[in-house]
Every structure is written in structure tokens, then in C-alpha cells.
Amino acid sequence: MKIIQGLIQGTAEWLEHRSNARNASDAPAVMGASSYKTRDQLMSERATGITPEVDAATQARFDRGHAIEEAARQIAERIVGDDLFPVIGTTDDGYLSASFDGLTMCCTTAWECKSWNERKAASVRAGEVPDTDYWQVIQQLVVSGAERVLYMITDGTDEKCVWMWVELPAGATEQLFAAWQQFDADSAGYTPAPVEAPAVGKTMDSLPALSVRVEGRVIASNLDVFREHAMAVIEGINTDLQTDQDFADAETAVKWCRDVESRLDGAEQSILGQTADIDAAVRTVRDVKEATRQKRLALERLVKAQKEALRQKIALDARGSWQHHAEVIAVALGHRVQLNLGRPDIDGAMKGKRTIASLRDAASTAVAQWKVSASLTHQAAAKALAMIDDAGRPELFRDLNELVTKDAEALEHIIAGRIAEAERQEQERQAAERERIRVEEEARARHLAEREAQAQAQAQAQAQAQAQAQASMVEPAPHPQQVREPAAGEAMMKLGDINALIAPLAINADGLAQLGFQPAGQERAARLYRASDFQAICNAMAQRLAQACKQREAA
């Protein structure tokens, strides 16, 4: 906290500071909780710089409050167990301000003193700070950084003194700052409405006294004058209702019409009581009475309909305001999540309000309070999205709608847990992949070893064949092998399979027969040979090639 040195409460310098500061005493109005000032009234004062004049009665109340405060200081210091000093300070950035009735030297404990009020005292006895003072105390805690505030209701004596300790609840700081920021945003585009005195219906023109004398016939009357005047007044009644003044005039006119109808009923009865043949007089009375009745009924219906229309327009304007704010939040979050922002209870706020001004204030305050809550939800969601984005694993966090509702600590655990699990699964996958590669490499090595062994066997066979060829330049052709039927399940080879294996060399069935290998079977046009004879076939072919080579050398 930054303490403003040399500033004394009640001085002109203090008033100048308050006119430009976001004061703790104004926080309840900003939150729409003050019983002394509406949010719109505070906004008008901040926009125009015009504040209500302090009359003698108000000044006397202020002076009494200061006297009570000084008398109660000793009581408060006894409860706190330390000296209390009046202090004026702001948050370190200067955004919020507070004037303290008392603050300990180390700024750990603050004191707020309110003059005796039985209703507030009852709240304190119930362990609750009255709504109209709650946010003032919260702002004092935020500005000072104090651990607690001693909230006291007293007349300066021990006999009438109730108090309670107040500490800063979780989330209150963010809510307070969001409320002031929303107030600043609304104030930036605020245009004060013309200040109007409370609407009072104008007095209707008095109709001339209706005079009729009859003695079997109308002897004398002012019916013509009365009719002309009455009809002029009735025609002049305004039915275009837009302002509180229009509604007040209309309601007065309705009362006037009822009175005229009543008086005309009396006149009609008087006339009828004097004679039975007064047609002209009765028609005049009835005409004026009917015109008055119709105007009254029309006004009653119009007042009701127009009030409802204006009420609906105010509600629709408020609805448009909060829906626009919700869309702004959605755009700010890139439409990545669907936040459960709820909606302001505009109808509930407007219930019981009679004037246009009070309806507008109730609707705008309800929307402002909703915007504060929505902005806090938006800020929390934005922080959550930033934490998720910083993790760099978007594929692990597809349930964003649920994740952004978690508090920071819970979300941090969720992010760490999912990343750890993903890394564990990745390590298992990599281990499995390495095992697969190892098995494949071992199988490949075995296959190569087998092929190498086969190659060595073939080489040995070729060497033996060459040795036999050298021992005898010409060897008798091998005796034809006896054809035997293949055993059940014995592996067979087609002639084409043999040629594929010895390519680019080739041999046919006659050649194989000359080498002593007869077909062991036939599949359609293909001749089949025992797969077990393939090694012998290769050895025989090698011997024949070696023999041919020797024959060429001998020639």
C-alpha cells in the first residue's frame, strides 16, 4: 500500500483526492449493493463531477459520525490491543483507494466504524457485514493488505457497540477489480441523462360548476358552456406516454376522469329527480360522462400497455448488452470453449420498480454485476488456456470446456498427470518397437546364417563333384532313378520353380530325366518333382558341367 502523507479526511484536499479516486466507500455502489446510492447515480457523479450538495442536516450527520468515531477509537484500540491511526492510502499501482478510520502501525489490522443502526447491528450479531458496507470493507483489505478488519457499529459507548472481525475471502480481490474495471468501461461511454424532478401529475383544469334548474322543464342551465369546456379538456389529455412525467400526468388524468364521472352521475340523478322530461339536459350530461369514461378507460389501458412496452424495451436493451459482452468474451477466447456464463436476472431486478429511471438502473446494475462475474470466468478460462497451450501437447487436452472450469492448482496437476501418462505410454511404445526390431533382426540373422550354410553345403558338393570329375574324365550316366509315388504331405516343386532357382541357367524334363530325376507327379500341365531332391539335382548338374569342362580341356 502507498500511504498518502499529509492528507486529512474532511479537508478540501481530501475531497479533491476522492473526486478522482476509486474509493472504498463507493465500492458498494459499484457492486450494486449500496442502499445510499445506485450504480447509475455514482456513474453520473463521476462523469459530470457534480455531487449532491451537503445540506445542514447531512453535515450534522457527518459531524456526529466523526464524533462517534473519535469516542469509539479507545474501544477499538482496546479490542485490537494496539494504537489505531487514521490513514488514507492506495494500492501500489494507485488504482484503488481507501480512507481508514484506523490502521495499526504495521498495517496488519484495520478498523471501520459505523454509527449505531439497529438493522446493521442485527446483521453483525448474526455474524454478517451488512450488504451496504461489505464491499467497502473488502476494498480496505485489498488496499491495505491487512490481515483483518475490525468492523464496528456503535454510538461511541460500550453499551451500544457490536463488532466482528472480517478477513479477505478467496476470490474477492479478483471480483472487486473486475467490478471496478467494468465500471470504468461503462463510464467511458456514459452519457448522463437529463436530470428530472420526480414526476408529479399536473393538475387538471377544473370544469365549471354544473348548474341545472328544472321545474318540469329546464328553466336555466350552463350545459352548453359546461359541455364545450369539458370536451376541450378531455381532448387535451396527452396519450403519447414516453417519460415518467407523461405517466404521472396520465395517472392524474385517470383520477380526474373518475371524479368527473362521479360528479356527473350525481348531476344526472339530481336532474332526473326534478323532472322526467329533461332529455336535452340528460343527453348532455351523459355525453360528457361517456366521453370522460372513454378517455379514462383509454388512458388506463394506455398507461398499462405503454409501461409494459417501455419495460420490455429496457429489458431488451439490457439483454442486448449482456449478449454482446458474451460474444466479446467468446471472440477473445477464439471460440475455443463454450463457457457457462449464465445470464443476468433482469426481470427479477426490475420487479417492484415503478419509474423508468428505477427500471433502467435496476436492469443496468443487474447486467453490470453479470458482466463482472462473466469477466472473472473469462479471465480464469484465458489463464487455463494459456497453461494448456504452454504444455505444448494439444492432443492431450481436447476436453477444454471442462478443463477451463478447474482452478489453477487442479489444472496444473491434470496437465502434469496427462503429460506423464503420455510419456509413459510413448516409452512403452518405443520399447515395444525396439523389441519388434530386435526380433526381426534376429530372424533376419538366422535366415542369413541358414542361407550361408546352404551356400557352404553347395560349395562342398561342387568341390566333391569336381574331385570325382578329375578322378574320371568320363563318368557313366547316372542310372535312372526308380519312380516312386510321393509320400503324403511331401513337399513338391514344379519344373518352373527349379528353373527360377537356377536362373540364368535352365533345364527341361528330358534333361532332368537324363540326370536321373523322373517326375514324381503332375499338376495339370506342370510336372512335379520332390523338393527333397533339389540338392541332388543341383549336384548332378554341377557334376555334368564340371565333366563338360574337362572334356573341353581334353579336346
**In contact, 397 and 403? CB cutoff 8 Å:** yes
- H or E element: which one contains 14? helix 12-20
pLDDT value at residue 199: 54
| Whether 339 contacts 404, CB under 8 Å | yes
**Contact call for residues 143 and 98 (beta carbons, < 8 A):** yes
Q: What share of the chain is helix, strand, coil (3-state, %, to 5)?
A: 60, 10, 30
Give just the sign of the alpha carbon dihedral 128, 133, 139, 140. negative
Averaged pLDDT in 10-residue chunks for the chain of 555 residues: 82 80 94 90 78 77 89 94 93 93 94 95 95 96 96 95 96 93 85 56 61 59 74 77 76 79 76 59 72 75 73 83 88 87 87 85 89 90 92 89 90 93 93 94 92 86 74 49 61 88 90 89 86 91 88 79
DSSP string of 124-154, one letter each residue? HHTT---HHHHHHHHHHHHHH--SEEEEEEE
Question: What's the pLDDT score for residue 474?
Answer: 45
Q: How far apart are CA 132 and CA 31, in angstroms?
A: 10
Crossing angle (nearest 10°) for helices 39-48 and 172-188 = 50
pLDDT at residue 233, as a whole number? 76
DSSP state of 493: E
Q: Rounded to whole angstroms, how far apart are CA atoms 434 and 424?
A: 15
The pLDDT score that the predictor gives to residue 285 is 72
In angstroms, the CA 151 to CA 161 distance is 11
Alpha helices of 404-527 — where are they, by DSSP H? 408-471, 495-502, 509-514
pLDDT confidence of residue 527? 87
Assess contact for 361 and 333: CB atoms under 8 A.
no
The pLDDT of residue 274 is 62
Q: Residues 391, 419: contact at Cβ < 8 Å?
A: yes
pTM, entire model: 0.55
